[in-house]
Structure 1
Amino acid sequence: MAASEEHYTLPRAAFDNPVKILIVVAPYYRAIADQMIEGAKGEIDASGGTWDLIEVPGALEVPTAIGMAERLSNYDGYVALGCVIRGETTHYDTVCNDSSRGITLLGLQGLCIGNGILTVENMDQAQARAEVTGQNKGGGAAAAALHLVALARKWGAPRQGVGFQPARDEYQIAGDNKGNPSA
Structure 2
Amino acid sequence: MILGKLRSVVLAVLLAGLFLSLPFAVFGNNGGNNSNETGSENESESEGQTENIPLEMHLSRPMRFPKITINEASKDGSVCVANDGKNPQDSLCANAKGNSAKLTIRGNASAQVFVQSEWQDAPQQGFAFRSAVSPQHLTLDKNGKADAYVQGHLTLVDKHAVRDGSLPFTYTLLLSYQ
Larger radius of gyration: 1
TM-score relative to the length of structure 2? 0.27
TM-score relative to the length of structure 1? 0.26
Looking at secondary structure, tell me which structure has more helix per residue.
1
Looking at secondary structure, tell me which structure has more strand per residue.
2
